Structure 1
Amino acid sequence: MDTEEATAAADTPTADGSRWFHGCWIAAIALLALFALAAHAVTEFEKSLDGDGQMEQPGLSGGAYEPLGPGATARYEDGLRVTVSIPEAHDDGTYSLTVTYENGTDEDLALDRSSYSTPLTVRAGEASDEDHYAGYDVEWLNYDRATAALAPPLGEDDERTVPIRLKPSRKGIPVTVEVTPSNANSRETAHFQLTLG
């Protein structure tokens, strides 16, 4: 082999080098796909340990010591969303607000029963008050109507708004709304803390 032939052979990539390069790219892509699948599997495993009744909140947790505020939404892992509106004052000293349920799960939900507590509670005081007595009171004027609104099951991808009318013993008191939607196992209670006045 003369010098020209040797130089041309050195400048031309061999079939083995090209195969090695393509093989590395395929291996890198396969490895990235495996990492993505593993990350997804770990996320789903964590959810299965928690159960679908856990809230996944950005910011405040929605628990008794980190309650959500008016207008905020409690987000559950299974797709249920619950929003408590900002209270609206009326001339007669009463306040109205709404609790809206959005069923983003893949099944119908029974809103009117919970295995551990009432599905919707409104009480005077801050969310973290353990004795639930704050020295002032709030009267839930349309309790029967709100309870009736919770009775029918909420269909998949449906939304229901429950109206609430309250009369506080005085202006400016904190009120806690506790929402415990039913679940096959158990569901975390979402706490919302509002001020009337």
Structure 2
Amino acid sequence: MDTEEATTAAKTPPAADGSRWFYGCSIAVVALFALFALAAHAVTEFEKSLDGDGQMEQPGRSGSAYEPLGPGATARYEDGLRVTVSVPEAHDDGTYSLTVTYENGTDEELALDGDPYSTPLAVRAGEAHDEYATGYTVRQLDGDEAAAALAPPLGEDDERTVPLRLKPSRKGIPVTVEVTPPDTGYRETAHFQLTLG
């Protein structure tokens, strides 16, 4: 082996070239996956910023007037707020009771009682998409108690249950519970459709 071959062999050992190439490719692949993950997270956050934290996001029915949630279902808002309407419970006097539970998973205190221009919790006769039901009615018997339960602010990571007592004009009517938790910007109304009887 002459001097020139020895110098070339010393500069580029065959095993070192293969392992450098392997490690270099491995680092590049890991960096590429990290970039894809960061890009996906950025796109998700950008999408949320476009439609706001007041949008509902849940599998299945949307909670809109045309796809109302059922009894026992939960409306999930992008900012972490959860609202659940229980299954109605019948009583011997012809009334029904149910609850609306708020779970504050946001990073701030929430005022649930709204403002003079919006109703944070409303109950009406009829299907969710039909605001003008005829032939039957429903009365909320404990409006003052429900308003009192909504009055105090709901702290971060706290939960509050608001009881409702309803008296339908007849058994078996559809009733819609509309929940519009107040927000400084915008928050979608969650529609829950129930049957009393």
| TM-score using structure 1 length | 0.92
Question: How far did 1:19 drift?
Answer: 1.2
Q: Deviations over 1:126-169 (max 9, x none)?
A: 00004x23320001000111011100000000000000000000
- Any idea what SS the aligned residue of 1:152 has? coil
CA distance in 2, matches of 1:69, 1:27: 49
Equivalent residue number for residue 24 of structure 2: 23
Question: Structure 1 residues 48 and 89, CA, compared in 2 at 3 Å: closer, same or farther?
Answer: same
Superposed CA offset, 1:7-28 (max 9, x none): xx8xx73322321211111011
- Report SS of the residue matched to 2:149: helix
Q: Which runs of 5+ in 1 are unaligned?
A: 2-8
Q: For 1:109-188, list aligned pairs within 5 A.
A: 109-113=110-114, 117-130=118-131, 132-188=132-188
* Cα distance in 1 for residues equivalent to 2:134 and 2:31: 61
Q: CA deviation at 1:120?
A: 0.3
**1:114/1:181 contact within 8 Å kept:** no
Q: What per-residue deviation string (whole Å, max 9, x for no partner) do you get for residues 39-96 of structure 1?
A: 0000010001110000001000000000000000000000000000000000000000
Counterpart position of 1:69: 70
Change (3 A) 1:115 1:181: farther
Distance 1:95 1:49 in 2: 40
Per mean C-alpha deviation after superposition, the further-off stretch among 78-87 and 14-23 is: 14-23
Identity among equivalent pairs (%): 83
Residue 14 of structure 1 aligns to a residue in which SS?
A: helix
**Mapped partners of 1:66, 1:188: distance in 2:** 13
CA–CA separation in structure 2 for the residues paired with 1:50 and 1:116: 22
Letter in 1 for 2:57: E
Q: Which residue of 2 aligns with 1:46?
A: 47
CA distance in 1, matches of 2:154, 2:82: 12
TM-score normalized by the length of structure 2:
0.92
SS of structure 2 residue aligned to 1:97 = strand
Superposition RMSD in Å: 1.7
Q: CA deviation at 1:115?
A: 7.7
Q: Which residue of 2 aligns with 1:32?
A: 33
Provide the C-alpha distance between the structure 1 equivalents of 2:182 and 2:156, rounded to a whole number of angstroms. Answer: 14
